[in-house]
Amino acid sequence: MSAGLSAAASVRRVISRAPLFLRYLFIIALALGIFALILVAAGKDPFKAYADTFAYTFGNVYGFSELIVRMIPLLLTAVAVAFPARIGMINVGGEGQLYMGAWLASGGALALSGFPAWALLPLMTLLGFIGGAVWAAIPGILRAKKVVNETIATLLLNYVAPMIISYFVFGPWRGVESSSYPQSPAFSDGARLPSFFNTRIHVGLLFALVSLLAYWAIVEKTRWGVQMRAIGGNPEAAERLGIPLVLYMVIVMAIGGGVAGLAGMGEVSAIQGRLRQGLSPGYGFTGFLIAWLAGGNPLGILLMTFLFAVITSVGDILQITQGLPYSVVNILMAVILFVVLGRRSVRRASR
Amino acid sequence: MKTLKCIAVTVLLAACIAVAPAIAQDKPTLIVGAIYVGSVNDFGYNRSMKDGLEEMKKNIPGLKLIEAENVPETAESERVMENMVQQGAKLIFPTSFGHMDFALNVAKRHPDVFFYHPGGYKVAPNFGNFFGNTQTAWYPIGIAAGKMTKSNKVGFIVGQPIGYALGNVNAFEMGARSVNPKVQTIVVVVNSWSDKSKEAAAANALLDQGCDILTMHVDSPATIIQTAEARGAMSIGFQSIESRKLAPKGWITGLGFTWGKFMTQTAQSVINGTFKPGFVRQGIAEGMMAVAPFGPSVPADTQKLVNDSVASLDKGFNPFTGPIMDNKGVVRIAKGESWGGDKMGDFDWFVEGVIGQAK
Amino acid sequence: MIGVLLRGVLAGSILSGTLLLYATLGEVIVERSGIVNLGLEGILLIGASVAFAIASVTGSAYLGVLAAAAAGGIAMLLFGYLVVGRRANQLATGLAMMFFGMGVSALVGKSFVGGVIAGLPKYRVPWLSYLPWVKGSTLFNWDILVYLAIPVAVLAWWLLFRTRWGLGVRAVGESPTAAFAAGRRPELLQYQALFLGGLLGGVAGAHLSVSLTMTWNEGMTSGRGFIAIALVIFSKWHPLRAIVGAIVFGGAEALQLQLQAQGAQVSPFLLDMLPYILTLAVLIAWGGARRSAAPAGLGRTFYGTE
């Protein structure tokens, strides 16, 4: 037991002396190694699983394009967490905000289905942003007024949002041509975000990259960003300096939620082509973990999102070629987090 | 430094193995891919699909089956199916209704891969649609319930209120009423094809209301049947006739899917190059569905009534022949009118005698 | 009619509320020591899958429950190593535990899906269960975990408020440094509280799989871990008030199904939302007063409301 602990300590010392990029590489290698052990214990072949994943995602145009498709909503939900985190607000409500963005954007698509794309798409984008923004503003106000902690409020609203969608796809928005299935009518062509080439990579990628860039620009380059960091560090001091705390909190949460709402709009407009249940396989939570792992660093968010997208592929492969439930890949995600969480210094350095 | 070297070597070795060429294998006659929305061990829908596929595999030597369970009815499924195509699948069964649109997307990208989708309605040159004629088949099952109930209240648990499910309930109630005019079917919707705790709570709620028979249209009848059995109530199964094993005392009968024959035919047609997509609806007569064996407490005269009803269906009897009123008093199927297989997804109302919310 | 509805809701709320109560009690103890466990959902899943697996293999649901408790405790020790030993961020670690629980439970439960077990045996209370109103329902005809739920809540209250150990735990939750100065060992107390919380969380998950549904499904807890976290706040971190909370929330769940079974004309989705909206509404209504009831040192980064 103590031998194991001192081995862990020496590994830690080695890793903390290496440059940042190598550090991340070691963490990933370590996590992959631990996960491989778990797979072996379960009687499966980890090398084949990793090899198949490599072949599918990097040896194959479609596979690689799917990685990018996966990254789009994750980048958005990660920014949705990172932005409010700058002032110390914890937004775990990415799921709900995504759904509400999808809902409002769908409302626009269905109500204005005759509109041409150049009018409808920007409108839907705005609606998607507003949907998510409002859904995040509610917990924002509650927190700013010191009524309810935003972590709990955003968590609870995560469950309410999908039910609102269910109500609409079973009721007022139920598609007629498929009244046998709970979904909205298919969106008109004008409501569909275009994709690139023959893949599913869609314009939402632009939203994601712009959001990430905007996040970086605001936080690093503007006075607003400096103010946010001040608030995040010491709320009382900020208040004494005359910064309107309540307004800040609500606006920042709303922006974060709005970005997550864009993810929802992208999903219904580009990927699904209609509103239905089950839009998000946990994008909101995964985004939280990505943002946290990256320490709020925009480049880190990009890299971690890529990593998580690859992990998704591992899950698919495990399911198809090894007969394990996809969910097992959550262990790999958790192990990566445990390894990082177990090492305080990485987070401090990247902040 | 030494630890560093060890780690680096391990990672390098792993990378080398990762890019090593795959070992050559025997070429199979046909690779068939299947995705399930849940687990195949559910005593229900997914089990029935799995059984059908295994039968197909047994009938065609050299056939390789690749499967993925718990594939949600979302865009995720598209990725999984693409993966199967990459692995060489030439025939894919996306076994749940909600996989339809995503399977179509994959089908469009790969015109040389064939798809047969259960329960949907879209057809393309390489994409066909099949299902069992469940709605009318529920009529004889309703007869069994109508005869066996003592409290005249039967509970029906529905996963999602889609037209096909409502149609099942309607046929069931009509069948029950034909032998017992006082019978009521109480419907509880759990809003999920597979939420076990909701199903247990719904089953308890129905039993609390005085139902003495429970039946369902959810992916797996297991939890509901077990809850009924534990409280001394009777049950009727759906999706897979294996579920009778769960209720040694209370089992009445059930309706199951037997997909094997159809799946074998389809696979064979792909091998022969004669695949033709269609909108296939088959019933008990064609072998796609089966009525489960009766439980120990079902008397012979009831069994005869049920079997006679099944036979009448084969001869063309359609329970959805007007005039039929819904449970709010509005005539939904006019006199002389009759709803056929193509309209089975259009139900958004319940017949007289059903207590429940259709919308 | 109303009588039948009331009986059904009461019966349903006790059945659904039992596991909520165990989960909430565990989290109360944990949070009293100053730690937030957002990963409760993962602990419940681990408990449910392990209980079902062991019950399938050994044929004894009781062994399953014990194994689930142990598994929950061990998982919480892992959580403890990270948040207490390594001072990791509690929220992120909690969410990581949630993913961990989702994955581990899927792996453990995989071979047992579709298995049939006998489930926890039920015991009838001699003449209470034959009373006219009660007869025919599930009231007073429960498994041992239901009967023990309230006694365990009382035990938890006694532990926290009437023992030296409980005083120490609460002191750590208020201020670890003050507790340390007073001669306590904060870290040891926190580990102990976490372990206890894990035992209770494992039992909660076990009740779901070996009693309520007698099956295992990936993700079958459907967010109950998060409801329990909300319930902790609802009950002001007090084990006895948690009983009320668990019944109310179990009841909200049961109400919508009972209403449907009575033919009520309300949308099932709107009814489904009830438990969550209710939690939020209660939190808003009593939010101000509740804040001061929280252990002052809770989570540090978790509690932004001062």
Digitized pLDDT (tens) for each residue of chain B, 359 residues in all: 455 555 555 555 554 444 444 444 567 889 999 999 888 888 888 989 999 999 999 999 999 999 998 888 877 788 889 889 988 899 999 998 888 889 999 999 899 999 999 987 788 999 998 888 888 889 999 999 999 999 999 999 998 888 888 999 999 999 999 999 999 999 998 878 888 888 999 999 999 888 999 999 998 888 899 999 988 899 999 987 778 888 888 899 998 888 999 999 999 999 998 888 888 888 887 888 888 889 999 999 999 999 999 889 888 888 898 889 888 888 888 888 888 877 777 788 899 999 987 76
Q: What is the CA radius of gyration of chain A?
A: 21
Q: Do C93 and A149 touch (CB under 8 A)?
A: no
Q: Do A42 and C82 touch (CB under 8 A)?
A: no
Q: Is residue C300 very low, low, confident or very high in pLDDT (cuts 50, 70, 90)?
A: low
DSSP 8-state class, residue C84: I
Flag whether pLDDT at A178 surpasses 60: no
Of all residues in chain C, what percent carry a pLDDT higher than 70? 92
Residue whose entry in the numeric block shows the structure tokens 């066996």: B148
Tell the CATH topology of A48-53+60-350. ABC transporter involved in vitamin B12 uptake, BtuC (1.10.3470)
| Interatomic CA distance for residues A256 and A81, integer angstroms | 6
Flag whether pLDDT at C61 surpasses 80: yes
pLDDT score for B177: 94
Query: Which among C115, C122, C257 is the nearest to B202, CB-wise?
Result: C257
Q: Is residue A191 very low, low, confident or very high in pLDDT (cuts 50, 70, 90)?
A: confident
Flag whether pLDDT at A351 surpasses 50: no
Query: Which among B187, B201, B222 is the nearest to C16, CB-wise?
Result: B201
Domain boundaries, chain A: 48-53+60-350
pLDDT score for C158: 96
Picking from C87-91, C101-105, C144-148, which range would have the lowest pLDDT averaged per residue?
C87-91
Mean pLDDT over the full length of chain C: 86
Flag whether pLDDT at C139 surpasses 80: yes
Considering chain B, tell me which residue range(s) the CATH 3.40.50.2300 domain(s) occupy.
Answer: 30-133+259-282, 134-257+290-355
Taking the CB of residue A252, how many other CB atoms lie within 10 A of it? 26
Distance (Å) from the alpha carbon of B246 to chain C's nearest alpha carbon: 8
Query: Which among B80, B86, B162 is the nearest to A319, CB-wise?
Result: B80
Distance (Å) from the alpha carbon of A7 to chain B's nearest alpha carbon: 9
Token pair in block for residue A94: 């990415």
Q: CATH classification of C2-291, choosing from 3.20.140, 3.90.1580, 1.10.3470, 1.10.287?
A: 1.10.3470
Mean pLDDT over the full length of chain A: 84
Arch. (CATH architecture) of B134-257+290-355? 3-Layer(aba) Sandwich (3.40)
Of all residues in chain A, what percent carry a pLDDT higher than 70? 89
Picking from A114-118, A185-189, A286-290, C276-280, which range would have the lowest pLDDT averaged per residue?
C276-280
A33 touching chain B per CB within 8 A? yes
Count of pairs with CB atoms under 8 A, one residue in B, one in C? 112
Q: Is residue C238 very low, low, confident or very high in pLDDT (cuts 50, 70, 90)?
A: very high
C12 touching chain B per CB within 8 A? yes
Mean pLDDT of all residues in C21-29? 97
Flag whether pLDDT at A347 surpasses 70: no
C298: chain A residues, CB-CB within 8 Å: none
Q: Which of C91, C111, C93, C112 is nearest to C101 (CA)?
A: C93
Picking from A282-291, B21-30, C118-127, which range would have the lowest pLDDT averaged per residue?
B21-30
Distance (Å) from the alpha carbon of B197 to chain C's nearest alpha carbon: 6
Q: Which residue of C has its CA nearest to A233?
A: C301
Question: A48 has which bridge partners?
Answer: none
ipTM above 0.90, yes or no: no
A181 Cα distance to chain centroid: 28
- Which amino acid, C282? V
Q: Do C213 and B188 touch (CB under 8 A)?
A: no
A151-180 residues touching B, CB cutoff 8 A: 166, 170-171, 178-180
| Interatomic CA distance for residues C114 and B245, integer angstroms | 12
pLDDT score for A4: 60
Of all residues in chain C, what percent carry a pLDDT higher than 90? 46
Q: Do C12 and B357 touch (CB under 8 A)?
A: no
Instruction: Name the phi and psi angles at B180, rounded to 5.
Output: -155, 90
- Which residue would you say has higher pLDDT here, A150 or C271? A150
DSSP 8-state class, residue B319: S
Question: B118 has which bridge partners?
Answer: B130
Do the strands B331-333 and B30-35 form a parallel or antiparallel pair, or are they unpaired?
unpaired
Q: Is residue C293 very low, low, confident or very high in pLDDT (cuts 50, 70, 90)?
A: low
Q: CATH classification of B30-133+259-282, choosing from 3.40.50.2300, 3.40.640.10, 3.30.930.10, 3.40.228.10?
A: 3.40.50.2300
Q: Which H, E and C letters describe chain A, residue by residue?
A: CHHHHHHHHHHHHHHHHCCHHHHHHHHHHHHHHHHHHHHHHCCCCHHHHHHHHHHHHHCCHHHHHHHHHHHHHHHHHHHHHHHHHCCCCCCCCHHHHHHHHHHHHHHHHHHCCCCCHHHHHHHHHHHHHHHHHHHHHHHHHHHHCCCCCHHHHHHHHHHHHHHHHHHHHHCCCCCCCCCCCCECCCCCHHHCCCECCCCCCECHHHHHHHHHHHHHHHHHHCHHHHHHHHHHHCHHHHHHCCCCHHHHHHHHHHHHHHHHHHHHHHHHHHHHCCCECCCCCCHHHHHHHHHHHCCCCHHHHHHHHHHHHHHHHHHHHHHHHHCCCHHHHHHHHHHHHHHHHCCHHHHHHHC
Rounded to whole angstroms, the maximal C-alpha distance in chain B is: 88
Flag whether pLDDT at C301 surpasses 50: no
With residue C127 as reference, give the H or E element that holds it: none
Q: Do B71 and A319 touch (CB under 8 A)?
A: yes
Q: Which residue of C has its CA nearest to B210?
A: C136
- Which residue would you say has higher pLDDT here, B152 or C278? B152
Do the strands B127-132 and B184-189 form a parallel or antiparallel pair, or are they unpaired?
unpaired
B82: chain A residues, CB-CB within 8 Å: 62-63, 66
Q: Which residue of A has its CA nearest to B39?
A: A325
| Burial (0-12, 13-18, 19+ Cβ within 10 Å), C75 | buried
pLDDT score for C176: 80
Flag whether pLDDT at C288 surpasses 60: no
CB B156 within 8 Å of CB B186 = yes
Q: Do B196 and C272 touch (CB under 8 A)?
A: no
Domain boundaries, chain C: 2-291
pLDDT digits (tens, 9 = 90+) for A294-334: 888 898 899 889 988 888 888 877 877 777 888 888 898 89
Flag whether pLDDT at A345 surpasses 50: no
pTM for this one? 0.84
pLDDT score for B23: 40
A19 touching chain B per CB within 8 A? no
B204: chain C residues, CB-CB within 8 Å: 8, 11-12, 15, 138
Mean pLDDT of all residues in C119-134? 81
pLDDT score for B19: 42
A338 touching chain C per CB within 8 A? yes
Flag whether pLDDT at A197 surpasses 80: no
Which of A339-348, B194-203, C265-274 has the largest mean confidence? Answer: B194-203
Picking from B214-228, C38-52, C128-142, which range would have the lowest pLDDT averaged per residue?
C128-142
A329 touching chain C per CB within 8 A? yes
C177 touching chain B per CB within 8 A? no
Q: Is residue A98 very low, low, confident or very high in pLDDT (cuts 50, 70, 90)?
A: very high
